Amino acid sequence: MNEFSDLRDLRADAPLPDAGRLTAPRARLTAAFRQQTRPERAALPGRRMILAGAATAGVLAVTAGIVVTLPEDGTRAATPKGPRVLSAGASADALELAAATVAKHGGTEPGPKQWVYEKSTVFGQGKPRTREEWTRWDGTGHANLPGIPPAGDISDFDPDELQVWYGPNQEERWKREGYDDRSQRQFYRFLATLPGDPDRMMKRIREEHAIDDIKGETRAQRDWREISVLYRSVLIPPKVQAGLFRALAKIPGARVTTGVRDPLGRAAISVSVTYAEKTPAGWQGKQEIFFDPESYAYLGETRQDGVMVSARDAWGVVDKPGARP
């Protein structure tokens, strides 16, 4: 991997859109509310919501969502119930509004001795499996529930006992020896150096991120796969969250759906692509990423080929392993 300092020279933070830039998208979304004759035209939630930086201690503020400002003339259209797939134009406008909203909020990097907490559920054959993990920000500690059975005799093993591991800081060694491994702190700081422009951002991610190249994969397929992996990071700088929404809007065939439920049954919006044929990565059918309809926080994803269905139950920053936000 290249030195992270090399990336800082490429930093090009895009300015936040002003009210004038958002006027046209809002108008198009207003029209989408009123055109009920086509099923792909969907209404969006009527309140504005905001995303507070995910790096703050386990909190997401509630004021922004995918929104449209309707005229105060008493002609508000009825909001259809159930899932609604937005048109390509309305999907792009919705993602731009989401990006513009989350970009306005700063994120605070955790302290080196703080821990990133994540509770997640994976669905597959048999019962869903839920786990909790704590990772120390400087990479020197990890904890999990349920515990992982040791090799050999497990007669005294208690899966409900918190397992905590401490070890040396590996960041300098990984950097010196050219490993792709990164601590959460290293990865967060790498993301923080990325340009704000979505095209330049995705180019740098393709060059620097540690997922494998797959022969025959198109750029759009690779970008979807990169974004899917990136969202599994618990903490992402707000500027990058905004860039990812804008990058999703550039993927051919990507659509926003409102009024859906995530894998845990929570109210959500989603962004999806559908592959009629199997991709070089082996993905086929509908690929869907879920977000909270009010905070835009990542909630989980599904893949129609049945390979993975996962959800993020809870997350945050805490001061010790075993603590919860």
Specify the range with the lowest mean pLDDT, choosing from 65-74, 104-113, 178-187, 232-241: 65-74
Can you tell me the distance from the alpha carbon of 297 to that of 299, in angstroms, rounded to the nearest whole number?
Answer: 6
324, part of any domain: no
User: What is the count of structural domains for the chain?
Assistant: 2
Query: Do 11 and 194 meet the contact criterion of CB atoms below 8 Å apart?
Result: yes
Q: Are residues 146 and 67 in the same domain?
A: no
Whether the predicted pLDDT of 265 surpasses 80: yes
Q: Are residues 139 and 94 in the same domain?
A: no
DSSP structure string for 8-65: HTT--PPPPP-HHHHHHHHHHHHHHHH-TTSTT-----SS---PPPTTSTT----S--
- What pLDDT, on the 0 to 100 scale, is given for residue 222? 94
In this prediction the pTM is: 0.73
6, part of any domain: no
1, part of any domain: no
**How big, in percent rounded to 5, are the helix, strand and coil portions of the chain?**
25, 20, 55
Radius of gyration (C-alpha) of the chain in whole angstroms: 21
127, part of any domain: yes
Q: Are residues 170 and 94 in the same domain?
A: no
Please say which residue of 81, 102, 123 terminates a domain: 102
Q: Are residues 201 and 243 in the same domain?
A: yes
Q: Are residues 211 and 272 in the same domain?
A: yes
Q: Please report, as a single letter, which amino acid is at residue 132.
A: E
Please say which residue of 102, 124, 151 terminates a domain: 102
The residues near 170 (Cβ < 8 Å, ≥ 6 apart) are: 139, 181, 183
| Structural domain harbouring 70 | 12-102
Please say which residue of 72, 102, 132 terminates a domain: 102
Q: Which is higher by pLDDT, 167 or 20?
A: 167
pLDDT band at 83 (very low <50, low <70, confident <90, very high): very high
Of the candidates 255, 292, 250, the residue with the CA atom closest to the CA atom of residue 102: 292
Query: Do 256 and 89 meet the contact criterion of CB atoms below 8 Å apart?
Result: no
Q: Are residues 196 and 260 in the same domain?
A: yes
Whether the predicted pLDDT of 81 surpasses 50: yes
Q: Are residues 151 and 211 in the same domain?
A: yes
314, part of any domain: yes
**Pairing state of beta strands 267-275 and 309-318?**
unpaired
Q: Are residues 126 and 97 in the same domain?
A: no
